[in-house]
Structure 1
Amino acid sequence: MNPRLAEATSPYLRAHAGNPVAWFPWGEEAFAQARARDVPVMVSIGYSTCHWCHVMARESFEDADTAADLDAGFVAIKVDREEHPEVDAAYMAAASAFAPNLGWPLTVFVTPQGRPFYAGTYYPPEPRGGLPSFRQVLAAVREAWTERRDQIDGTADAVASALADVRASVGSGPSGEATLDALTAPEIAQAARTLAGREDPRHGGFGDPASAAPKFPVATALKFLQARLVRETAAEASVVADRALAAMAASPLRDPVEGGFFRYATRPDWTVPHYERMLTDNAQLLDVATDAGSHDVARGVAGFLVDVLQQPTGGFGAAQDSESWIDGRRSEGGYYARDAAARADLQPPAVDGKVVTGWNGLAIGALARAGARYGEERWLESARWAADAVLESNVRPDGRLLRASLDEIPSSAAATPADYGQLAAGLTALALATGEVAYAVRARELVDACLTDDGEVAVPGGGDPVLAAQGIGAPDAASDADEPSGRAALAEAAVALWLVGAGDRYRAVAEHIVAPHVRAAVGQPLAYGALLRVAATLAAAPRQLVIVLPDAAPTGAGGTEAISATAPGAAAGAGLAAAGRGIRSDLFTVLAQSAAGAWNQAGFELFAEKTTRDGLPTAYDCRDFACRLPVTDPTELGD
């Protein structure tokens, strides 16, 4: 058993601890040994629910002869891409110079100084389908290292230089000088129509119904189509998101027993899924279901998050595997093919219990919004438990965030901009759903930690120290992958703080982040859904609904139990809450009068002078931070 991996905070690394390969985790120690031995480094990147990662492990990394070849000529590093996304992004960018159609496992050969010189993905144990065997690749790289070192060094230098040029170009040029003033609401609506034009008219979602390419939910794009501005100015585009959700929910992409969605489908009609179930996908699709008013779909997704992914420590695990043991053999998807009764007799696929900071932020926010919308107290409590767990285990003593933890043991991996932004946005949503201002205060601290004195945005600590020391890094992309980019996440968090009255400074931060990329986003809306959703919020005057309850009233889930049935004004309180939830707004909250005062004292000026009138529940309908006269009668709360 390899103690370096057995003691890791990644289930993926722990799963490889029994390999005969002398693996190192990501870190300087591995590169120091490579320099001492003057051998190249093989970096193998994957994640615990990756099917082909499992396959390559069984075929190659568990084979003694292959391991002997690897250990003799290389230093081998195993990386969990979910724990070290910056490493994965940097090496994925480098790998694009050597191979098209990249994915995981990602196999990258680098110099002892960390410079990539060759890369690929999965390699079989013997030549197959035009691919050389993994041992043939090892032999060829080792021969080139000993016989043609100058050529390798030249390739490595060229790749490093190309990556540096790409990073330097981010935010520069004409797009870097853009301002949001030039982007109007009609242009954003047109971007939504452009995106809607990519709808699969037969099966829903995005893509060609005749294509053989995998089909993903692309939740970031669906959420953009559900933005208030799009709903109000391009309704024909907005309904594409509702149709996509309905199609996916009725298809094999959704687990009919446990409710969660699988990663993607291999066919355009959403059939033959890739059976891993990811926290990122399901958290965002819970938001899509909530916005679409689909309580049944939301209930299923929330149930999966709470009952399957939530760990005993409170945080949400990263994913559930596609494979499980059935009748003594590994089966991909076999568990999910069974009905509820048959599953009861099976061991379910393993859950990667790694608690990723930003991904938990996505889930916290989604559960908070859904819990408030549907009066589901259990969802709110689950979100609160996760938030408290992340703030306890995924924070350094100096207050900076860490990327992840496992069983309350913190990882050494640095947090990313996405971690800060996604967690801050989730905490703000939780604060609004529960009325507890402390979560919003912590969210403000997280965003402030990413702001430099000269108004720029930078993650505290400067990112991965090994990559920084080697001068290797990935382009700081503003486009989405399967989650909002770091830039979009920070912009969303800043907008959320602006909406709760933290000040125009946060609107300016969001504009500063979004402005250089708006033209690219409008031209490629499928790739920039998260950033476009922020732009849509900035381009329209915000609408905020605040309902204030008498202090004697308990505040329950989003106001559904906000006032006892026999208390004065009970009907008005329940009616105001119901009416408020039925209005499409940028912010909605129900809270006690004393809580509103606490928000105001904490510096969130939206809540200034928000009190009850005549001791009755009172609603404040604010447009662009100017509030109409408060009302106590639900019928007076306009559309």
Structure 2
Amino acid sequence: MNDNRLGTAVSPYLRLHADNPVDWREWGPDAFAEARERDVPVLVSIGYATCHWCHVMARESFADPDVAELLRRDFVAVKVDREERPDVDSSTMAAAAAFTEQLGWPLTAFMTPDAHVFFAGTYSPPTPVGQHPSFRQVLGAVLDAWRDRRGEVDANATALATAIRQGALDAAQDEPGAPAGAEPGLPSVGAIHDVVTALQRSEDTTYGGFGGAPKFPSAPLVEFLADAGADGVAEASALAERSLRAIAESELTDPDGGVFRYATRRDWSVPHYERMLYDNANLLAVAPRDQARGIADFLRDTLRRPDGAFVAAQDSESTIDGRRVEGEWYRRPLAERSTLDPPPLDDQVLTGWNGLAIRGLAIAGARHGDDAMIAAARAAADAIIDAHLRDGHVVVRSSTPRGVSTAPPTIEDVGLLAEGLLELALVTGQVGYATVARSLVDDGLRGALDVDPVLASAGTATGEQPQTALRSGTVALAGAAAMLGTLTGDDTYRAAAVALVADRARTGVERPLGHADALGLALALQRPSREVVVVSEHPSELGVVAFGARRPGTLVLVVTPAQAGDWAASGFALLEGRATKDPAAYVCHDRVCALPARSVEQLTGQLASS
């Protein structure tokens, strides 16, 4: 009898498996209690709705009645959406690293009823391929170990869980000591600048970007290079520009402007065709005008919902001539696509990923003078605040048209949304976004986030792990805290930012790929503080010049006189006494301001000398 329990799931990925003959359960204490009662291992299969190889494994193995019967008899089978449950994915990935260097999705892990991993891998074919065993062979080997070598299984699982627990504890502790002349705990500015030299050596000078195949856009790394370039490292700017140009001019960018997740070849050709909100949102923050407008058009035309929020992704596969195929729709000319059914959407609205889109659209809109981008950022912010927040606190991580997920909000949701809302507040002058962001930052700094009960009981909650493709929620929380410190005059926010980012930045000096965002913020935290406040009743050239002056350590805010009064009344001390009637720009250092600039020439001169 089929006992698949995914039919009522909110996650689109889980619902894709609701018709499998496998007795799937959702992640939670009940699944592990069942395994404990039956004395069987737990198969945990992790993927996401637009993952091509997840689709392949589902068709080859999870739709097979014989495989389903084997799983029904000898396992408790659990499906996890890595987008809905990044906490579970992070913990499982940490354990899987002990068994394979080829981490990715689908991720297949086997756990004890205490939720300790004792074996893990990724995609398994239905029949053996070379040295790669079939999925049935993997299941058989796991069962043999479970039945015949239980003591060894339990010992290894416990040892691995202990190592994960210790790693999480180590990551949470600040290491003592710092280079002379550096902010305590942060790597020095010189050490951060030296990272650029190391990255130059790893550049693919033939095709652009970094490394060989597969090749990823690595947006956080490109943004760090842009920051280092704005801080005076000329070769960093050139490296960022070459990387962005390679992405824009290659097959990785679709003619409609959207960017694919990665290319399977070194020359950026043969993309892996799913398109993720986070890649495109990340790139928006640094892309030049035409590239940014193409990405913004893709977000508007493809991923945007009627309420203004953005869904998570578009699939790599589509149905053409009755067949489900990868990439074919994207390979057709744009005019022909309109006659075909497009690839489906992963229709989850994720709080953190929308925060990233809000940030990218706000920054790009201000830099390129594009009001449509800023309007899109505002619509997304309003939709998320309305549906995912209550009284200034994140209460929903993921929602779909079918309902609200029970998955707890994570540091990604709090940090990325707070940073996005603050960037939007700086661009629009709307203090309401800043007050919500302040509430979110206060929540994040208090550690007011729930830990999954299964991971808590197992002692394997890792917290957020470094990522190469997605801006870290921890770093974003630190960035938002740093901005709040500047706006409010409360230096405890800045101290919190340093504490949050220091360990990641120190690690990033040696391993920049997974910590590039931390390096960028560590650089900003050590540069002279500069605040540029433009007060004008109507949009003016002063604001355009001010936003063009962004660099590490510089905060730019444009407000009307009435808005300036609202900010001051809401506790943002930087705006006290700024509600002037005539257009004025204030260039300040540590909130001590020069005489107001009344013309573009005066502002340009003050910026050049500061």
TM-score range, shorter chain: over 0.9
8 Å CA contact retained: 1:545, 1:619:
yes
| Structure 1 CA distance for aligned equivalents of residues 541 and 173 of structure 2 | 52
- Name the SS for the 2:79 alignment partner: strand
- Aligned-residue offset at 1:451: 2.1
8 Å CA contact retained: 2:278, 2:356:
yes
- Name the SS for the 1:547 alignment partner: strand
- The residue that corresponds to 1:195 in the other structure is 199
In the alignment, structure 1 residue 180 sits paired with structure 2 residue 183 = yes
| Pairing partner for 1:379 from 370, 373, 379 | 373
| Structure 2 CA distance for aligned equivalents of residues 385 and 625 of structure 1 | 31
Task: Give 1:214's aligned amino acid.
Answer: P
| Structure 1 CA distance for aligned equivalents of residues 177 and 392 of structure 2 | 33
| Pairing partner for 1:474 from 440, 462, 482 | 462
In the alignment, structure 1 residue 596 sits paired with structure 2 residue 564 = yes
8 Å CA contact retained: 2:203, 2:210:
yes
- The residue that corresponds to 1:95 in the other structure is 96
Task: Give 2:226's aligned amino acid.
Answer: Q
- Aligned-residue offset at 1:172: 4.4
| Pairing partner for 1:444 from 404, 414, 438 | 438
Q: Quickly say closer, same or farther: Cα 1:31–1:313, change in 2 above 3 A.
A: farther
- Name the SS for the 1:451 alignment partner: helix
Q: Quickly say closer, same or farther: Cα 1:86–1:140, change in 2 above 3 A.
A: same
- The residue that corresponds to 1:605 in the other structure is 573
- The residue that corresponds to 1:587 in the other structure is 555
In the alignment, structure 1 residue 492 sits paired with structure 2 residue 486 = no
| 93-102 or 440-449, which deviates more | 93-102
TM alignment of 1:616-627, pairs within 5 A: 616-627=582-593
TM alignment of 1:33-44, pairs within 5 A: 33-44=34-45
8 Å CA contact retained: 1:175, 1:517:
no
- The residue that corresponds to 1:571 in the other structure is none
8 Å CA contact retained: 1:356, 1:405:
yes
In the alignment, structure 1 residue 549 sits paired with structure 2 residue 556 = no
8 Å CA contact retained: 1:60, 1:66:
yes
- Name the SS for the 2:319 alignment partner: strand
Q: Quickly say closer, same or farther: Cα 1:406–1:288, change in 2 above 3 A.
A: same
| 348-357 or 465-474, which deviates more | 465-474
Q: Please give the per-residue CA displacement for 1:549-599, whole angstroms capped at 9, x wherever unaligned.
A: 23xx4xxxxxxxx2xxxxxxxxxxx33233323333422232210101101
- The residue that corresponds to 1:335 in the other structure is 329
- The residue that corresponds to 1:83 in the other structure is 84
- Aligned-residue offset at 1:126: 1.3
- Name the SS for the 1:131 alignment partner: coil
Kindly tell me the number of residue pairs found equivalent between the two proteins: 599
Q: Quickly say closer, same or farther: Cα 1:241–1:509, change in 2 above 3 A.
A: same
Q: Quickly say closer, same or farther: Cα 1:163–1:298, change in 2 above 3 A.
A: same
| Structure 1 CA distance for aligned equivalents of residues 542 and 383 of structure 2 | 33
| 333-342 or 539-548, which deviates more | 539-548
Q: Quickly say closer, same or farther: Cα 1:408–1:140, change in 2 above 3 A.
A: closer
Q: Quickly say closer, same or farther: Cα 1:46–1:352, change in 2 above 3 A.
A: same
8 Å CA contact retained: 1:214, 1:265:
yes
Q: Quickly say closer, same or farther: Cα 1:193–1:597, change in 2 above 3 A.
A: farther
Task: Give 1:238's aligned amino acid.
Answer: S
Q: Quickly say closer, same or farther: Cα 1:42–1:473, change in 2 above 3 A.
A: same
- Aligned-residue offset at 1:139: 2.4
| Structure 2 CA distance for aligned equivalents of residues 502 and 321 of structure 1 | 45
Task: Give 1:276's aligned amino acid.
Answer: E
| 508-517 or 391-400, which deviates more | 391-400
TM alignment of 1:103-502, pairs within 5 A: 103-172=104-173, 174=175, 180-181=183-184, 183-207=187-211, 211=212, 213-227=213-227, 230-256=229-255, 258-289=256-287, 294-395=288-389, 399-407=393-401, 409-452=403-446, 458=447, 460-474=448-462, 476-477=464-465, 479-501=466-488
8 Å CA contact retained: 2:533, 2:585:
yes
Q: Quickly say closer, same or farther: Cα 1:408–1:384, change in 2 above 3 A.
A: farther
- The residue that corresponds to 1:532 in the other structure is 519
| Structure 2 CA distance for aligned equivalents of residues 230 and 172 of structure 1 | 31
Task: Give 1:80's aligned amino acid.
Answer: D
8 Å CA contact retained: 1:495, 1:534:
no
Task: Give 1:233's aligned amino acid.
Answer: G
8 Å CA contact retained: 2:252, 2:262:
yes
Name segments (4+ residues, structure 1) moved above 4 Å: 171-179
| 443-452 or 358-367, which deviates more | 443-452
Task: Give 1:483's aligned amino acid.
Answer: L
- Aligned-residue offset at 1:506: 1.2
Task: Give 1:203's aligned amino acid.
Answer: Y
Q: Please give the per-residue CA displacement for 1:501-523, whole angstroms capped at 9, x wherever unaligned.
A: 35212111111112234332222
| 180-189 or 498-507, which deviates more | 180-189
| Structure 2 CA distance for aligned equivalents of residues 185 and 117 of structure 1 | 42
RMSD of equivalent CA atoms: 2.0
TM-score (norm 2): 0.94
| Pairing partner for 2:594 from 628, 632, 639 | 628
- The residue that corresponds to 2:492 in the other structure is 505
| 386-395 or 240-249, which deviates more | 386-395
- Aligned-residue offset at 1:409: 2.4
Structure 1 regions of 5+ residues with no counterpart? 453-457, 554-561, 563-573
- Aligned-residue offset at 1:476: 4.9
Q: Please give the per-residue CA displacement for 1:163-206, whole angstroms capped at 9, x wherever unaligned.
A: 12222222448457787246433332222332233221122211
- Aligned-residue offset at 1:82: 0.8
Q: Quickly say closer, same or farther: Cα 1:124–1:176, change in 2 above 3 A.
A: farther
Task: Give 2:285's aligned amino acid.
Answer: D
- Aligned-residue offset at 1:3: 6.9
8 Å CA contact retained: 1:220, 1:529:
yes
| Structure 2 CA distance for aligned equivalents of residues 636 and 324 of structure 1 | 56
8 Å CA contact retained: 1:393, 1:410:
no
| Structure 1 CA distance for aligned equivalents of residues 541 and 385 of structure 2 | 35
- Name the SS for the 2:202 alignment partner: coil
| 149-158 or 582-591, which deviates more | 582-591
| Structure 2 CA distance for aligned equivalents of residues 17 and 185 of structure 1 | 52
| Structure 2 CA distance for aligned equivalents of residues 276 and 490 of structure 1 | 28
- Name the SS for the 2:102 alignment partner: coil
- Name the SS for the 1:6 alignment partner: coil
8 Å CA contact retained: 2:431, 2:567:
yes
